[in-house]
Amino acid sequence: MSYLKIFQTLYVKELKETFGNSAVYILAGLFCFLMGGLFYNYVATSPMLHSGNLSSNVLVPLFGNMNFIFIFVAPLLTMRMFVEERRNGTIDLLTLAQVTNYQILLSKFTAAATIAFLMLVPTLIFPIILGLSGYHDFGVVGACYLGTFLSILCYLSVGLFSACATENQVVAATLGFSILLSSMLVVVLGQLSQNYLVSQMISYLSVPFHYEGFVRGVVRTYNLVYFASFIMVFTYLSHKILEGRRQ
């Protein structure tokens, strides 16, 4: 069986297991409800409904909060993925079938990313509503969604790493929360430094630092490189953990 065929089989398996979990629907429902409430609040409190005003008073805080919420959602989406495999013994079967660690990781990562993407789809109603109110800067909206999804991919890579590192769902989720919240605190530490160069270097290590430009409609190459590097680093660390367990 080809590499791609094995990946496809594992990916479909992960999706079926995820869609069969009622907790995912509850999580998605709560996310949509919360985002709807935030959107209504930002629009209702925005003094004037014109493009510039809507960008700063609605889009920036809305996507900022969306990004923050996924810090908690991502570890919840991934916490069961390896715990269930070990509990059911399927991880050993995959090893015997000579499935590589990267095939396992990428199938789980892609499945989790698909679920996260589907959770974002209902939020498209927000820019549509803004468009009906006269907002037409959809380039900024596209950048916001791109930055949000890239950030989510980073959070999912951390979530998978946490799931690989432990055999308990609660511990996996807690570890994921801790790592991601620590990355948020890096920004605060950077701002506390009185040395501009040190401040920028510390802030550069955090996801929010690179996400900020996207919500203002600015997409820079070094931000894209950062997100790709972040995902690859945690995927590699997850691979090393799985490799250690196989030996």
End-to-end Cα, the chain, rounded Å: 24
What pLDDT score was predicted for residue 123? 96
What pLDDT score was predicted for residue 89? 65
Percent of the chain with pLDDT over 70: 91
**Bigger pLDDT: 88 or 210?**
210
Task: For residues 200 and 210, give the distance between their C-alpha atoms in angstroms, rounded to a whole number.
Answer: 11
**Bigger pLDDT: 75 or 87?**
75
Name the band, by pLDDT with cuts 50, 70 and 90, for residue 112: very high
Helix 138-165 vs helix 81-88: crossing angle, to nearest 10: 30
Name the band, by pLDDT with cuts 50, 70 and 90, for residue 91: low
What pLDDT score was predicted for residue 92? 61
C-alpha 214: how far from chain center: 15
Count of other CB atoms within 10 angstroms of residue 144:
25
**Mean pLDDT in residue range 70-92:** 82
pLDDT digits (tens, 9 = 90+) for 115-146: 999 999 999 999 998 888 777 888 899 999 99
Buried b (16+ CB within 10 A) or exposed e, 1-19: eeeeebbeebbeebbebbe
pTM: 0.91
What pLDDT score was predicted for residue 113? 97
pLDDT at position 193 over 80: no
pLDDT at position 152 over 90: yes
Name the band, by pLDDT with cuts 50, 70 and 90, for residue 205: confident
DSSP 122: G
